[in-house]
Structure 1
Amino acid sequence: MVRILAEDHHTGVRVRGEVQRGEHLLMGWVHRVLPSLVGHEGLQLRPVRLVELIAQHRVPVGDHRTVLARRAAYDHPVARSSNELDLTDVPRSRLATLPTALEPGPALPGGASLWVKRDDLTGLGAGGNKARKLEFLCGDAMAAGARSLVTVGAAQSNHCRMTAAAGAVLGVEVHLVLSGDRPDHVTGNQLLSTMFGAHLHFTGAHHSHWGELEIAREALADQLTAEGLAPYSIPIGGSTAVGAVGYVVAFHEIMAQCSAAGIAPAAIVHTSSSGGTHAGLVAGRALWRAAGHDASAPLPEVLAVGVAKGVNIGMPDVADLARDTLAVLGRADVEVDAADVVLDTRWMGDDYAVPTDAGDAAIDWAARHGGWVLDRTYSGKGLAGLLGNATDGRWTHGQHVVFIHTGGLPAVFAPGGRP
């Protein structure tokens, strides 16, 4: 038996109770919700189960403004200002812990210095790059009065898992359209998605048949609309002009951090499958160029490592998506050229979500040289592309290369998630 006395310093509300052995595993939740948790031997405590404590402090469904106001109070100045970006007219839900760290790594083959942008540590639902997109997608959804979110992805989609977490924060239903068949036991991202309260809809489709998956998403959105659930429907990867704004912000964040570290990056390298992250970075670079920042230093190349068939053959058109993203920001006057889009298509292997030897070697390299955990579908192949380009002499001693670590930790605990 564990006896507790807890007081919420903001409201003065005290909760007293006792829990059976085993229930103390949930006491971490109480630590987060109630700032003070103190045992007191002399009190006559009535039995209170933790489910009752949770019910007393749960944010009502749909009361997302309370959550977002509280989160905004903890925003870092760099995240609030987005380094001079004007986001006044762009709806945004504060979901991510920003800015994420930019940390030095080991020397690369050829002698260039590696820096890792830790977007695996965005906080939302175990972290990952999709939190940046979801801030603006969910902001748009809430502004439109959405009561549910619908999105789509592969069976172990990081994007779907993070959308489920966003729904939990905002108090709206989440429906995930997934490839493959329903497993006997959910693992990895599916397990977390169910913990966040999402509804999982398995299509039986192959994970690379994105057209089939998108049709299923649209059909489900129509069904939910008919049921009065006012869905906001998000395509694979959250790769829309609205979602890409998240990586416009990220580009400016990276450049500000590099300046503070006294370095001028030669390249910003990331993984690309649906094109949204790439488009956001390209748009951010174009804005930086137009503003004349650090005119004496060359702009870093934005290098995408393609890991899906569609993006590798120009679907979507990243330059067009970047232009649409600039239009969302009211900056359609800023130019994006085809030459701004740099894509290395050599590292996908046989197909999306099919592991490669180079990707597995990169995962091992990251774990042993930096303590970073990458996944076999996405970030591992991206780092493989970076290491391959470094080995080929793309960068040399004295140059600095930024790798955006997009996350993927939960997939390690799914079947086939480890080399």
Structure 2
Amino acid sequence: MFDHLPRASLATLPTPLEAADRPHNAGPALWIKRDDLTGLGGGGNKARKLEFLCGEAVAEDAKSLVTVGAAQSNHCRMTAAAGSRLGLEVHLILSGDAPVADDALTGNQLLSKMFGAQMHYTGAAESHWGELEIAREALTDELAAQGMRPSSIPIGGSTVTGALGYAVAFVELIEQCATAGFVPRAVVFTSSSGGTHAGLLAGRAAMIADGRLDRDSAPDIVAIGVAKGVNLGYPDIAGLADSVLEVMQVDAVIDGDDVEVDARWLGEDYGARTDAATAAIDWAARSGGWLMDPTYSGKGLSGLLGQVAEGRWNRDDHVVFIHTGGWPALFA
């Protein structure tokens, strides 16, 4: 399903699948899929997307990468690392204002600078994604005029090409679960720009189509929405997943009823702290030494723990949480 597609070798795969303590006595067995350990530039889920995005860029003879994100964007940090690995110039469009000096850089911005990226600050608010994307398109045009042959990547790398990374991840995960002796009842993860979600749905549909998963026992794909757009249904996750399946050359379509986004854990906005995320971050740190951040993975885990407390799953179920990374933001 993937061998015909250009792909750069960037991630350390497969990532581990670790057993966690039951968060509730009557609740399910919980497993953590450690996609914070993908290796590239501090790890995180974007490494999987960048393998296909950068593979495409190299195949098209790009000389530079351009992408966009919040001030402490994990995706931007990992794109910077991918560029350093592949010898491509990297330009990052970021929210917020430039720091007064380079020695004031913290977290993901400090790491992006270490990887050699050029950072362009827009002054935009973190949640103003449209404004950031306009700036990305303008810089892409400018670099193209200079002969830099830019490969321009939207926020989160959530294109059809990027989402392929999580179709691969789903197959990898199900094979690990089989080795451990179970089929998960649900796969839970954090979602903002929709690419991880679409990829997981495509991977699930592909495994059902080729008979490796039974439709009735296939795991639910449960997104915890941490951005207003995905919580309101943007982008069209089912449509994006269908496009991924087409690129994979798999004869299957996504049922709209399979697209589940729990929007209750966002808080006031993207990046805004919540008490539930803080509690989930503390639980992860004390239960397994897992580091999660308050913008992304911490909110995702808070949604899973909240659904456990509500009794969605029983003691006989196995639930997997995909830890998508984000720990460098803790140092900001």
Query: TM-score of the superposition, structure 2-length normalised?
Result: 0.97
Residue number in structure 2 paired with 1:160: 76
Q: Deviations over 1:202-258 (max 9, x none)?
A: 000000000000000000000000010000000000000000000000000000000
Aligned residue pairs, count: 328
1:99 is matched with 14
- The DSSP-based 3-state class of the residue aligned with 1:398 is coil
Give the letter for the 1:385 counterpart: G
Partners of 2:27 and 2:311 within 8 A in 1: no
Contact 2:166 2:203 in 1 (8 A): yes
- Residue in structure 1 matched with residue 306 of structure 2 by the alignment: 388
Alignment pair present for 1:181 and 2:105: no
User: Matches of residues 210-225 of structure 1 in structure 2 within 5 Å?
Assistant: 210-225=129-144
1:169 corresponds, among 85, 95, 104, to: 85
Query: What residue identity is the alignment partner of 1:390?
Result: V
Whether the aligned pair in 1 keeps the contact of 2:98 and 2:121 (CA below 8 Å) is yes
* SS of alignment partner, residue 315 of structure 1: coil
Name the residue aligned to 1:36: none
Contact 2:245 2:253 in 1 (8 A): no
Deviation of 1:398 (Å): 1.4
Q: CA deviation at 1:294?
A: 4.2
Mapped partners of 2:225, 2:215: distance in 1: 31
Question: Structure 1 stretches of 5 or more lacking a match?
Answer: 1-85, 415-419
Q: 1:296 Cα deviation (Å)?
A: 8.8
Which structure 2 residue ranges, 5 or more long, are not aligned? none
- Letter of the 1:346 counterpart: R
Structure with more relative contact order (C-alpha pairs < 8 Å, separation 6 or more): 2
Larger radius of gyration: 1
Kindly report which structure 2 residues correspond to 1:88-167, keeping only aligned pairs within 5 A, or say none: 88-109=3-24, 110-167=26-83
The answer as to 2:145 corresponding to 1:230 is no
Distance 1:342 1:291 in 2: 23
- Sequence identity, in percent? 64
> 1:248·1:280 contact (CA, 8 Å) conserved in 2?
yes
Residues 266-319 of structure 1 show CA distances to partners (whole Å, capped at 9, x for unaligned) of 000000000000000011111111111143970000000000000010110100
CA contact (8 A) 2:140 2:150 kept: yes
Deviations 1:60-101 (A, max 9, x none): xxxxxxxxxxxxxxxxxxxxxxxxxx2122100000000000
Structure 2 match to 1:248: 167
- Per the alignment, in what secondary structure is the counterpart of residue 282 of structure 1? helix
**1:19-62, Cα deviation, whole Å (9 max, x unpaired):** xxxxxxxxxxxxxxxxxxxxxxxxxxxxxxxxxxxxxxxxxxxx
Moved beyond 6 Å, runs of 4+ = none
1:264–1:297 CA contact under 8 A, matched in 2 = no
- The one-letter amino acid paired with 2:298 is G
Equivalent position of 2:227 in the other structure:
308
- The separation in 2 between residues aligned to 1:338 and 1:294, in whole angstroms, is 19
The CA RMSD measured in Å over matched residues stands at 0.9
Aligned partners of 2:80 and 2:116 also within 8 Å: yes
Give the residue type in structure 1 aligned to 2:308: A
